[in-house]
Structure 1
Amino acid sequence: MLSAGYLSAQNTSATINNQGMNPNFSIVENTQQSQTHKTLLAAMQGSDLEDLLRNDGPFTVFAPSDKAFSKMSSEKLTELLKSENKKDLTSLLTYHIIAGKISASKILKAMCQGNGVATYTTIQGKKIVATMKGTDIILTDALGHSAKITAADAEQCNGVMHLIDSVILPKQI
């Protein structure tokens, strides 16, 4: 569970789902090493974002785990990963990425300054909204669906990753 108290007590967490993330590796390299982000890796590879997330940055990635992707219907996910649907896949993945390195403590600070709400524009161009629910940071997508940050601040050489428990959507897919 992520909380304001937890964040103030921690400088950074290099672990997502008990898997060490090497801060000297890129977002792609750490995703390749992860046993719980195989679907995210396939999406990176299928959307032509692999080079961007390997070499450029800094970026903040809200990273859905395989479990988060499994909440989508298997037919929809299979269809999305087909090469002819690269445009929709790219739109979905870029909706999980913000330019710049934004730690969970920066998200909390922005929410405090924004009366409990912080809004971010993704590299896809649409906005996501961060709010608090109890002690959890919740992201709300363009359709009103929400995802909870379940692990925060996995440092990467080109940004930071936050694990989320659901896939967020820029539009209906």
Structure 2
Amino acid sequence: MKLTQIFTALLFLGFTSLATGQCHSKKQVSNNHDSHNNHVVVVNNWSYHDNGDIIDIALSDKKFSTLVAAVKAAQLVEVLKGDGPFTVFAPTNSAFNRLPDGTVDNLLQPKNKKQLQAVLTYHVLSGKVTASDIIESIKRNGGGFMTKTVQGDPLYASLQNGQVILQDAQGRKSIITATDIEASNGVVHVIDTVILPKK
């Protein structure tokens, strides 16, 4: 089955209605414009071009350069430029730097493309899931809940000290540091640690 079919077929579970919470984003439109006359939008001090897709958002900030390189190496660019909608938990360069030495270089090798695809699709949910969706689902499920990623392995979300924490299939934890960066084909949330599927 093609990756595009996998993205379309997998259903996102567990996130439901909107609610208020401490994970709201602060969005404002600046007076800057690019050559295509798109507004530059600032969310939680992150700048990106309004109306761009998920890949455009990643390309708009150098803090995502490692993620962009990984998506290209995994040949997932066209998938993440597709209709979606998708929810992407986007690791920054510093998040990738937290991995053991040599991990990123190893994943970027052509022979490890399938493994890299698995890692990246583990950061994606099918459907558009906002910060308030996440918080509402956490509250409705007694403080935390589990959902399935596009890769197939589960991801657990909870609230700790007012922060949304993601726990991966290996027990590693990541904090969502910026939320609700809207793309034309979904939404991006920034995370501080790369999350990993089962080995």
Both structures adopt the same fold (TM-score exceeding 0.5):
yes
Greater mean deviation of Cα atoms: 153-162 or 73-82: 73-82
The answer to whether 1:34 aligns with 2:61 is yes
User: Which residue does 2:197 correspond to in 1?
Assistant: 170
How many residues align structurally? 168
Do the aligned residues in 2 keep the contact of 1:22 with 1:155 (CA within 8 Å)?
no
SS in 1 for 2:111: helix
Q: Tell me whether 1:70 sits opposite 2:97 in the alignment.
A: yes
Matched, 1:97 2:114: no
Maintained 8 Å contact 1:12/1:155: no
| Equivalent residues of 1:16, 1:163 under 8 A apart | no
Poorly superposed stretches of 4+, deviation over 4 Å: 10-14
Choose which of 167, 170, 174 in structure 2 pairs with 1:147: 174
In the alignment, is the contact (CA less than 8 A) between 2:22 and 2:163 conserved in 1?
no
**135, 141, 155: which one pairs with 1:108?**
135
- 2:89–2:190 CA contact under 8 A, matched in 1: yes
Say whether 1:22 aligns with 2:49.
yes
Secondary structure of the 1:129 match is strand
Does residue 51 of the first structure (1) align with residue 78 of the second (2)? yes
Match of 2:187 among 142, 160, 164: 160
RMSD value, Cα: 1.8
Q: What stretches of structure 2 of length at least 5 have no aligned partner? A: 1-19, 29-40
What secondary structure, in the 3-state scheme, does the structure 2 residue paired with 1:148 have?
A: strand
Deviation, structure 1 residue 23: 3.3
The alignment partner of 2:105 has SS state of: helix
Indicate the structure with greater helix content: 1
Q: Indicate the structure (1 or 2) with the bigger Cα radius of gyration.
A: 2
Residue 49 of structure 2 aligns to a residue in which SS?
coil
Query: 3-state SS of the aligned residue for 2:63?
Result: coil
Instruction: Flag the structure with more relative contact order, 1 or 2, with Cα contacts below 8 A and sequence separation at least 6.
Output: 1
Structure 1 gaps, min length 5: none
Q: CA deviation at 1:11?
A: 6.9
TM-score normalised over the length of structure 1: 0.90
